[in-house]
Amino acid sequence: MANRKYQLRLFLLLIGMSFSPVLLLAQDKYVTAESRVFPGGHREDGMWTAISAASDGKVYFGLSTNGNSAHFYIYDPKRDEMRHRADLIKILGESGRAVRTNAKIHTPFVEAGDGKIYFASGSMGHGPNEIDPRSWEGGHWWCYDPEKDKLTDLGLVLPQQGVYALVCDKTRNRLYGTSAWGNFIIYDIETGITTDLGRVNNHRKVCRTMAIDNMGVVYGSYEPFHIFKYLPQRESIEETSLEIPTDRTLHPGKWNAYRPNWRCAIWDETRKKIYGIDRTSSILFEYDPYVNEADAVKSLTKLCADQHLDQNMIPYATLAFTLGKDDKIYYAPVVQPFDYTADLGVIGGDVTGSYHYTHLVTYDLNTGERIDHGAIKVENDAIVLGVGGATTGPDGTIYICAAVEEKNNMDAAGKVGGKVPFRMRMVIIKPDQPGG
C-alpha cells in the first residue's frame, strides 16, 4: 500500500512537471563570471540604474538600503579595488532624526565636460512605515571630483522629490532628469539652479532612463509607448506621435503594474541612433531621430531569456542593459519576477525552492545575431538572482550590479522572495569570454 502511494505521488509530480514551465527551469548552460563584493558590511538590499563607467576606467555605484542610507562606491579596475566612498545620510545629517532619508541613488553617474561626476539621490518610498512620509525633505544633487577625491552636496533637487533618469549635456553644462513625480527637470551646473518644466509622466510610469544626442536633444518615453524630446534650442518639450514597439498581448501580470513606456535607452555614438528595450515585452528597438517618422523606429528582436520567447507571460524588463565596444547589446533578463526582498510571485504557479536566475543575452548590431548565453553564476557556483544595472568600461569590460546568492547567511542582506539569501556584488563580464 505504501509503495502504491509512493508511485501515485511520483506520477502526479511528473504530470505537474510536464505542465509547469517553472519546474523545467533547470539550467544546462551557464556564463561563469568574476565578482567583487562591496566592502564595509553595510548590507545594502537594492540597486537600480546607479552604475556607470567613466572615461578614466573607474566604475561608480550607488547602492540602496531601505529605511537607512544610500552608499557611494568606486571600483578601480587597474588596482582591482572596490572602495566605499560615502554614506550619504551621514553627510546630510539625516541619521537619527526620525525622518525619511536619502536611502536611494537611482540615477546613473554622468560625466560632465570638466571630468567631474554628477548624480542625484532620493527616497522614492524607501523607509519604515512608522516614519511619516511627509518628513521626506527631498533628494539632493551631488558632484564628485575624481582628481581631488572630493564629494560635494550641491543641495536640494526639489521638495520631496528625488531623481530617476539623468543625462548630461557637456556643451551647455546641464543635467537633465526625471523626478519621482514624473517631472522633467534641469540643473545648471554653473549657476546651481534647478528648473522644473512640469510633468511628462504619471506617477509609477516615470521614464527611468533617457538618452541625449550630440546636439543636446534629450529623448524619453511617455505612455502609451510614445517618445518625447527636449529641444534645448527652444527650451521646450515635444511630445511626438512615435511609438516604440511592444506586444500588447503580453502583460507583466500580478507581480507588477502595467507601465507602457521604455525601460532602457542608450545613445549609440557610432550609428547616431538610440537602442532601447520596452518594459513589458522586452523588445529591443532601434530609433533613428534623423529620418522620417515613418521609418524612425523598428523592432529588432526580443531580449528575454529563451524559455520566454514563445510564452504570453514574461518577467518585467530589467535595467541591466548596455552597449558594448564590440557593437553588441548586452542585456541581463531574469527568468522569474524579481525585486530584491519583495515577493512578486512566480510564473507557472506556486513552487518551492529557488527559480531565480539571471541570463546574459547579447544582440550583435552588425549581424543581427541574438544569443542567450545562459544563466550567470560567479565564484563558488553562486547564482546571480537579479540585477539592477549594467555599464561598459572604456576597455569593453561589461560590469553588472546584481543580487547574488549568498551561501554564508551572516553576510546576507536579505532574501529574494523571502527564500534565497543574497548579497549585492559587482559582476564582471569579459566580452571575449561570455561563456563558462
- What number of CA atoms fall less than 13 Å from residue 268's CA on the CB side? 22
391, 322 Cβ separation under 8 angstroms = yes
Per-residue confidence band for 27, with pLDDT thresholds at 50, 70 and 90: low
145-148 LR contacts (CB < 8 Å, sep 24+): 145/116, 145/117, 146/54, 146/56, 146/58, 146/115, 146/116, 146/117, 147/115
For the residues 168-189, what does the mean pLDDT come to? 96
Query: What pLDDT is attached to residue 172?
Result: 97
Query: What pLDDT is attached to residue 354?
Result: 57
Per-residue confidence band for 18, with pLDDT thresholds at 50, 70 and 90: very low
Dist CA 374 CA 384 (whole Å): 11
Query: What pLDDT is attached to residue 391?
Result: 98
| Helix spans in 239-341 (H) | 293-296
Per-residue confidence band for 22, with pLDDT thresholds at 50, 70 and 90: very low
- What number of CA atoms fall less than 13 Å from residue 48's CA on the CB side? 27
One-letter amino acid identity for 56?
D
Encode pLDDT of 181-226 as tens digits. 999 999 999 999 999 999 998 877 899 999 999 999 999 999 889 9
| Helix spans in 234-376 (H) | 293-296
Dist CA 328 CA 371 (whole Å): 11
pTM: 0.91
Sorted by sequence, the CB contacts under 8 Å of residue 296 that are 6+ apart come out as 242, 287, 288, 289
Query: What pLDDT is attached to residue 34?
Result: 97
The residue to which cell 587597474 is assigned = 78
Sorted by sequence, the CB contacts under 8 Å of residue 419 that are 6+ apart come out as 352, 353, 354
Query: What pLDDT is attached to residue 134?
Result: 85
User: C-alpha grid cell for residue 284?
Assistant: 529591443
Q: How far is CA 101 from the centre of its chain?
A: 21
Query: What pLDDT is attached to residue 108?
Result: 98
Is the pLDDT assigned to residue 124 strictly greater than 90?
no
Per-residue confidence band for 312, with pLDDT thresholds at 50, 70 and 90: confident
Mean pLDDT of the chain: 88
Encode pLDDT of 238-287 as tens digits. 999 999 998 877 764 444 445 688 999 999 999 999 999 998 889 999 99
The residue to which cell 566612498 is assigned = 85
Dist CA 286 CA 298 (whole Å): 5
- 14-18, 58-62, 326-330: range with lowest mean pLDDT: 14-18
Per-residue confidence band for 58, with pLDDT thresholds at 50, 70 and 90: very high
DSSP summary character for residue 409? G
Question: Of the candidates 194, 220, 187, which has an alpha carbon nearest to the alpha carbon of residue 206?
Answer: 220
Per-residue confidence band for 100, with pLDDT thresholds at 50, 70 and 90: confident
The residue to which cell 507601465 is assigned = 259
Query: What pLDDT is attached to residue 23?
Result: 34
